[in-house]
Amino acid sequence: MEYYSWILTFHVMSFMSWMAMLFYLPRLFVYHVEHFHKKEFVEVVKIQEYKVYKYIGLPAFWATIFSGAAMLIVNPVLFQSGAWIYAKIVVVLILSAYSFSLEYYRVALEKETCQRSGKFFRAYNEVPTLLSILIVAYVVVKTFSWLFTLITIALFAFIIYMIMKQPEHKD
């Protein structure tokens, strides 16, 4: 337990860096698909997408995962602290899948095979916000509430619906 606070500090910093990539990369995808006809602009965006994912997002992801695992190893009592820790782990797994999906879209955009719209990426950009709210709430409150979880998901489903309902942005 002597090092737990240091591991927790590193975990929070890693999580913040990972979340920065998760928030920013889909925004770059929006610029990429909405300005596809501006070849020089798109080439710059491709470089940014690559660097944000490979140099910030991926290392921060692994640092978050390893430091989280280290916290569980150092303090296994967390597994007995209630359903919140299991809910957090499930949401982190979903967030991890989302993170890897961004690499799938980045590569598809780089190869010019992606058929998704700017509107799609605007809505897709809301997913990490929803998941981070759930993660932070579970950790801070240290309880799991189906009501809170369902209300949060419903609210974000409505936001995504409203985004998708808007007309496409034109250049």
Per residue in 88-102, pLDDT (tens digit) is: 999 999 999 999 999
Structural domain including 125 reads 4-165
| Residue 170 predicted with pLDDT over 90 | no
111 in a structural domain: yes
44 in a structural domain: yes
Alpha helices in 75-117 (DSSP H): 83-110
Residue 169 is predicted with a pLDDT of 63
Cα separation, 26 vs 31, in Å, equals 9
171 in a structural domain: no
Q: How many domains does the chain have?
A: 1
Which pTM value belongs to this model?
0.89
Whether the CB-CB separation of 152 and 130 falls below 8 Å is answered with yes
Calculate the average pLDDT of the chain.
Answer: 94
Mean pLDDT lowest among 61-65, 79-83, 160-164: 160-164
170 in a structural domain: no
Confidence of residue 171 (pLDDT cuts 50, 70, 90): low
157 in a structural domain: yes
Cα separation, 49 vs 33, in Å, equals 12
50 in a structural domain: yes
Q: What is the pLDDT of residues 25-42, one digit of tens each?
A: 999 999 999 999 999 999
Cα separation, 169 vs 38, in Å, equals 15
120 in a structural domain: yes
Q: Where are the beta strands (DSSP E) in 19-158?
A: none
